[in-house]
Structures are given as C-alpha cells and as structure tokens.
Chains A and B, each alone.
Chain A
Amino acid sequence: MRGTYLVQAVVNGILLGGVYALVALGLTLIFGVMRIVNFAHGALMMVGMYTAYWIFTLWGINPYLSLPLTMGVLFLLGAAIQRFLIDPILDAPQHNQLLLTLGVMLFLENLALFLWSPDFRTLRLPWLEGAVRAGFLLVNKPRLLAFAFALLSTLALYLFLKHTETGKTIRATAQDQVGAALVGIDVRKVNALTFGIGSACVGMAGALVTPYFYTAPQVGHVFLLIAFVVVVLGGLGSFTGALVGGLIVGVGESIGALLLPGSFKELVIYAIFVLVLLYRPTGLFGERYE
C-alpha cells in the first residue's frame, strides 16, 4: 500500500517539476545572457496567468488554445522591460539591477491588485476536471498537459538555440557580450529578444497552471523562490540544469510531503539546495563563470 503511494508521489512530483522547470527556464536564460537576476520573473508569471484567465473569461478561449497569444503578450512585455528599463543600467553594479527588477515586480503586482482586485480566481474547465486512471495511478489531467507542454517547449527552445541563426547569436552573446558586439551582433536587440523569450516561457508556465491553480496578484511568490532554487541547483545559465533541477525539486517536495511529518516538504528542497551548494557550488550542470 505504501509503495503505490510512493509511486504516486513520484509521478506527481515529476509533473510538478515540469512546471517548475519551465518557470526556471526563463530565469536561467535571462541570467545566462545578461547576468541579471530577474526578481520580476514571478510577477511576469502572474501576468501570464491573468492574460490566460481574461482571454478565457471574456472570449471563452481555453488557455491551451490561447497560448500563442499569451506568450506573444509576455514576449512584448519582457522585451519592453529589457529595452526601456534594464538596458540603460546594464553596466550598473549588480545590486542596482537587482533593485530595478524588484521594483518592476512590485509595480506589476500592485498594478494587478489595482486593476483586478486581490480576489483569488480560478479558471474552471469542466471537461478537464478529474483524473486519468492508469492502473492504481491517478493523474490529474491539466497537470499532465502542463507537463507535456513544458517538456515540448523546453525541447523546442533548446533546438532553437542550438540550430538557428538567431539562437546562435543569443548563445554568442551569452558567452561574451563584447565579443558578440565585435563580430557585428546587435547586442541590445539580442538582449531584448532574450528577455522576451524568457518572459514568454514563464508566461506559458503561468497559463498552463491556471486550470488547476488559483490566480491572484501575489501568486508569483509561490513559484519565484522555487525557481531560484531550481536555477542554482541546476547551474546558473544551464538549460539541462533547469530541467533536471525542476524535476529534482518537484519530486523532492512530493516525497518529502509523503514521508516526513508536518511541513517538512519545503525543508527537503532547501536541504538538497544547501548540499549542492556545499559540494558543487556551480550547480549540477553549471560551468564556471567569472
């Protein structure tokens, strides 16, 4: 009996981890290229959730169909934040950039609070409620969908960066901003593009969780801290790291909740985190950077 619940917990953790990975992906991409720790990431996720929520509520288009639109909105928002707010202070000391992204977070959250009230909203898709049964396993349908989308988009993004011209310029910029500029890459454009893609990723994650989670102005906090843990765990700037880190955190949280008493589930995540930092400070897949 205990065994089946353990398997269930692992499966559930993997599904959870897929979404964590998608959130962390944007964060790690932005950090990899611009060396900016983006505190506004959770708030951008919240904007993605509201976009999906309103498209569904106003026009009845479900969050899966409206994904391109949500991602487009988030891409433009992210690119604009980079172009007009972050770009001017890219050479400033790191703590200034931190404060700026923190400011953007507070601005977005309070704007949401003002526009849409602090109400918790749930987007309900009756055809998607309930679980799929596979033997003794019960798998929540929207979670399964979210996981599938997360995995697919991670793969797509990986191929994009690896094989397309634009992807290569992004990677070149990530390696060396000055060097990239020297060979004729428009670094500012690449930065805006990267921030846009990172925002679109987290917006997608936001849209995908709306069918089973709640939407509220401060909802980003739930995911932001976890995303930071995932990114550091996987290695700052590493793609594979974000995916593996997300899965580890998801499964760790899920098993922790099953096996440990009380609210120790968060302890598991942070224990793993501390251990990795102690014995492999660059994260699991991280490379040394100066």
Chain B
Amino acid sequence: MEGKRIRRREFLKWAGVAGGTALIQGWPNLLGWVAHSQPREVRIGHIHPLSGGLALEGNEMKDAITLAVEEVNAAGGIKSLGGAKITLLHGNSEGSPEKGAAEAERLIGEGVVGLLGAYQSAVAFVTTQVAERRRTPFVITVAVADEILRRGFRYSFRVQPNAEAMARYGIEYLTTLAKTSGTEVRTITLMHENSLFGTSIGDHLQRFASAAGLRVLERISYPAATADVTTEINKIKAAKPDVAIFTGYFRDGVLIARTLAELQVDVKGVLGVANGAFSHPRFSREAGPASEYVMDSNYYYNPVNPRTRGVFRRYQERFGRPMSTHAVYAYVATKVLIDAIERAGSTNRDRIRDALAKTNLKDHILPQKEIRFDERGENVNARPVLLQVRGGQPRVILPTQYSELTAVFPIPRRR
C-alpha cells in the first residue's frame, strides 16, 4: 500500500516536472505555432475575360491588378498579418456568365479571401451571386448595371459609378456645356449596344434627357459584334440631332467614329456615355482624325493628382502599353480590397467583408472624394468625368476641379 502511494506521488512529481519542462521547452514551439497561424500568403482572385472578344480589356485589367498586388507585396505585404504576401489567382470568364460562375467557384475553392471582377455586367451578375452564396467579399472592378447591387447582397461592393450615375452625369455635363458655351442643345439621338450594359444606360439616358428637357429623336440599339453600322449612322444623320450620344465597346466605337466622319454627319457634338472606345488611349490611333473632338462621359482617373502619373509610368514600364481607364479601376478596386484585408487583420472573409463596408479610402487616384460604400455597396462619391479627344489624346474637360483643358463645343464643322 505504502509503496503504491509513494509511486503515485513519484509519478505525480515526475509528471509535473515533465509537463513543466514540456511547457517551457514547448514555448518557442507554441510561439511558432501562433506565428504560423499568421498566414504567409493571402490569396485573392480575379475573374475577367482573358480570351475571346473582350480579351484586350480583360488582360489590361489583369495587368493592373497584378501591378497593385506587386506594389503591396514590394512594400512589405499585409502588415497586420505579419507581412503576409498576396498571391493573385487568375480566373478567365471567356466573356460568358456560366464560365465566370464556374471560375468564381473554383477560386473560392482554392481559398481566396476576396474576389475582383468582371468587366461585363452579365458576368458580374452571376459571379457576385456565387460570392454571396459562398460568403466571399467581391469588389467589382468594372460592371455598370445598377441591378447587380439591387439584390440586397452583403458581400458585393462597387468602386465604379453605376449606369445611373453615368447617365445622370452625362446629361448633366451636356447641359453644363451648352450653358457655358451659349449653344442651344435641344435634341439628341441615342445609339447603344444591345446587351445589358448598353440597354440599361440607354434607359437611364432617355429618362434623364427627358427630365432635362432634351428631345430624343432616335433611339437605336445594335449588336456590338456587327459588321457594319452605316445604316444606323445614316438614321442619325437623317434625324439631324444637336448632339449624338453613343454607348458601346471598343471595336464598335471605332467603327462608329469612322462611319460618322465618312458620312459627314454634322452635329454640334459627339458624346459617348460610358463608351469603351471614345476615351480609350488607343482610340485616335485606330480611328484617325475622326476621333478629334469626340467627347465621352466616363469613369476615369484623376489626371491632376500627381500620384496618378507614377501609377501610369509603372504600368507602362511593366507591361509596355498605356494604362486604360478600366485598368485604373481594376487597380483601385484591388487597392480597396487589400486595404480592407489590412484593416481586418485577418483572413476571415466575414471580417474582411465588414472592413470593406467601413472603407474610407482617401489615398486613391480617382476623380472623387474619399471612397466610401453605402448599404448597397455602391461607392457614394463615384462620378464620371467629361473627356474630349484633343490632339489625339482624351483630356478631362469637366468638372472643372479635375479638368486639363476647356471644352471645344460646338465642334468645328466637318470638312
């Protein structure tokens, strides 16, 4: 009995010593384990059309996101996560919603803490839905359709001005321009591509134009992959509007500008609203002299912010081509997402979502005040600017606090 008790005491003693030693010796290990739970990498993903008809835009956006990620990694990664580096995973929507949704599923499966996308409203529509279901934050790079954020989603956020803001400001800029130049603008024509993107902007334009007392003489929709727009432009020529308004993508925008010049359509102004071509840096090269004085109300960067120039230079050096506007928004959206991860100090997707909702980013290169989101996830200060092609380059002409040049309006008669 006696021996047994001693043995038990002995056992307890040694067990205590062993345990204590283990605790002391294990301390660094425990520390290491804690440190290890600080991830070495944080994965984020993006979904854009990297092949197919919109591959040009998609790849420009991919490059911009890559640049933003590389900048953050070079500056020491996510500091609140012990300098964790960001790994960017690529998703190719090939321009189709089904493929985009599949890619969103795949990226979430591979452990991304946030997604960026999708350039096309139709694709953003379904990818945000996947993200919502899988409780993954989604920052929209470019996709203007209002309806995307009218579904009560909690995990989706948009930096870019939506279709309604584009149209509202587009008409507002036009009336401002008419007033300041003392030119009468009473009638317009609307021509837009026929997918969700063009149609939703077309609807808003019609509404805001009527509200501003402008008469819409013709409203024409067309398929973006068309072989010819001559007849459509002839219809506009026959209508003789004061200003002709166009919404579409790059290839059709170039075709439209060339056809306008060819058919010698004489209007006081050619105005794009969210036009993929009219404020693209390569527009003049492709459309030639037909591009001069063409205006575009579009999401844009802040040209008078000195930081903008740095970003543009780095993009040009890294990828060998000028940074286009959608690339700028992909860049800023990436910074917004990373800013939220930094403030969340966690890879928990719900915490990142909450941090995104509290975003208040002043340090950005957009022509607006701080980036903040409303309860829908829309950037409350988002606004387009009015640009005009001058000497082959798109220049900001309105609003005045961001403008580089004063507008030429009405445009000189075509000869």
Tell me if A12 is interfacial: C-beta within 8 Å of chain B: yes
Chain A contacts with B in 228-256, Cβ cutoff 8 A: 253-255
| Residue among A8, A118, A126, A254 facing the most chain B CB atoms (10 A cut-off) | A118
Across the two chains, which residue of chain A brings its CB closest to B288? Answer: A124
Contacts of B250 on A, CB cut-off 8 Å? 120
Q: Evaluate contact between A263 and B263: CB separation under 8 angstroms.
A: no
- Asked if A140 and B287 sit within 8 Å, CB to CB, the answer is no
A263 near B251 with CB under 8 A, answer no
Interface status of B226 (Cβ within 8 A of chain A): yes
From A56-64, A179-187, A215-223, the one touching the partner chain is A215-223
- B221, A254: Cβ atoms under 8 Å? no
Number of A-B contacts (CB under 8 A): 99
B251 touches A130 (CB 8 A): no
B234 contacts A by Cβ under 8 Å:
yes
Q: Are B194 and A262 in contact (CB under 8 A)?
A: yes
Contact in complex: A258, B235 (CB < 8 Å) = yes
Nearest CB in chain B to that of A11: its residue: B230
Minimum CB–CB distance from A144 to chain B (whole Å) comes to: 12
Q: Is A212 an interface residue (CB 8 A)?
A: yes
In contact, A120 and B286 (Cβ under 8 angstroms):
yes
Q: For the complex formed, measure the closest distance between the CB of B244 and the CB atoms of chain A, giving whole angstroms.
A: 16
Q: Are A129 and B231 in contact (CB under 8 A)?
A: no
A94 part of interface (Cβ distance < 8 Å): no
> CB-nearest residue of chain B relative to A266?
B223
Minimal beta-carbon separation of A290 from chain B (angstroms): 34
A222 CA to B54 CA in the complex, in Å? Answer: 14
Contact A122 B286 (CB under 8 A): yes
Which A-chain residue is minimally distant from B258 (CB atoms)?
A212
Given A122-B287, A138-B262: A5 in contact with B238 (beta carbons within 8 A)? yes
A120 to B324, CA, bound (A): 14
Nearest CB in chain A: distance from B248 CB, A? 12
A226 interface contact, C-beta 8 A: yes
Contact flags (1/0) for A1-21 with B, using CB distance below 8 Å?
A: 110010011001100100000
* Complex alpha-carbon distance, A223 and B55, angstroms: 19
Nearest Cβ on chain B to A6's Cβ, whole angstroms: 10
Q: Which residues of A contact B230 (CB under 8 A)?
A: 12, 16, 140, 254
Nearest Cβ in chain B — how far from A49, in angstroms?
Answer: 13
With an 8 Å Cβ cutoff, the count of chain A residues facing the other chain is 43
Q: Closest chain A residue to B202 by CB distance?
A: A262
Known interface pairs A140-B230, A223-B227. Does A131 touch B262 (Cβ–Cβ under 8 Å)?
yes
Mask of B197-232 contacts with A, CB within 8 angstroms, 1/0 = 000000000000000000000011111011110111
Any B CB within 8 A of the CB of A272: no
State A237–B106 Cα separation when bound (angstroms): 46
- CA–CA, A212 to B227, complex, Å? 10
**Which residues from chain A contact B258 at a C-beta distance below 8 Å?**
129, 212
Contact A257 B232 (CB under 8 A): yes
B254 interface contact, C-beta 8 A: yes
A16 to B229, CA, bound (A): 11
User: Which B residues from 29 to 64 make CB contacts under 8 A with A?
Assistant: 51-53, 55-56, 58-59
Give bound CA distance, A41 to B223, whole Å: 22
Contact of A140 (CB < 8 Å), options: B52, B58, B194, B262: B262
Within 8 A of A (CB), among B351-365: none
Chain A, 120-160, contact with B by CB distance < 8 Å: what is the 0/1 string?
11101010011100000010100000000000000000000
How close is A188's CB to chain B, nearest CB, in angstroms?
Answer: 35
Contact of B286 with A138 in the complex, beta carbons under 8 Å: no
Could you tell me if A16 and B288 are in contact, using CB atoms closer than 8 angstroms? no
Q: Does B255 contact A (CB under 8 A)?
A: yes
Residues of A within 8 A of B51 (CB): 110, 113, 118
Chain B, 342-355, contact with A by CB distance < 8 Å: what is the 0/1 string? 00000000000000
Q: A165 in the interface, Cβ–Cβ < 8 Å?
A: no
A213 to B219, CA, bound (A): 24
Q: Determine whether the beta carbon of A257 is less than 8 Å from that of B55.
A: no
Whether a CB of chain B sits under 8 angstroms from the CB of A54 is no
Question: Is A107 close to B, CB under 8 A?
Answer: no
Report B56 CB to chain A, min CB distance, Å. 4
Which residues of the other chain, B, contact A91 by a CB distance below 8 angstroms? none
Cβ contact of B264, chosen from A121, A131, A221, A226, cutoff 8 A? A131
Contact of B53 among A212, A218, A263, A265 (CB under 8 A): A218
B84 to chain A, nearest CB (A): 33
Chain A residue numbers with a CB within 8 Å of B261 are 129-130
Closest A residue to B285 by CB, please name it: A122
Contact B56 A119, beta carbon cutoff 8 Å: yes
Contact B262 A129, beta carbon cutoff 8 Å:
yes
Given contacts A126-B288, A212-B258, A263-B222, contact A16 B228 (CB under 8 A): yes
CB contacts (< 8 Å) of B231 on chain A: these are 8-9, 12-13, 254-255, 257-258, 265
A residues near B223, Cβ cutoff 8 Å: 263, 266
- For B52, the chain A residues whose CB sits under 8 A away are 218
Given contacts A120-B286, A266-B223, contact A253 B234 (CB under 8 A): no
Nearest B residue to A16 via CB reads B228
CA distance A130 to B59 in the complex (A): 33
A1 to B258, CA, bound (A): 23
- CB–CB A129/B288 < 8 A: yes
| Contact between chains at A213 and B288 (CB < 8 Å) | no
A197-230 with Cβ < 8 A to chain B: 212-214, 216-218, 221-223, 226
A121–B223 CA distance with the chains assembled, in angstroms: 20
Which residue of A5, A8, A122 has the most chain B CB atoms within 10 A of its CB atom?
A: A122
Tell whether, in the assembled complex, residue B228 and residue A254 are in contact, meaning their CB atoms are under 8 Å apart.
yes
Question: Across the interface, which residues of B come within 8 angstroms of A222, CB to CB?
Answer: 225-227
CA A1 to CA B234, docked complex, whole Å: 11
- Bound together, the chains give a CA A258 to CA B232 distance in angstroms of 7
Nearest CB on A from B272, distance (A): 16
Q: Nearest-CB distance from A271 to chain B (Å)?
A: 16
CA gap between A284 and B286 in the complex, in Å: 40
List of A residues within 8 angstroms of B287 by Cβ: 122
What's the minimum C-beta distance from A163 to chain B, rounded to whole angstroms?
A: 33
- 9 of the cross-chain contacts (CB-CB < 8 Å) are A12-B231, A118-B58, A122-B285, A131-B262, A214-B255, A218-B53, A222-B225, A222-B227, A223-B227
Q: Which 8 pairs between the two chains have the least Cβ-Cβ distance? A: A118-B55, A257-B231, A263-B194, A122-B286, A118-B56, A262-B221, A12-B230, A263-B221
Other contacts beyond A9-B231, A263-B194: 12, CB < 8 A? A118-B51, A126-B288, A129-B258, A129-B261, A140-B230, A214-B255, A217-B55, A218-B55, A222-B226, A226-B227, A254-B230, A263-B223
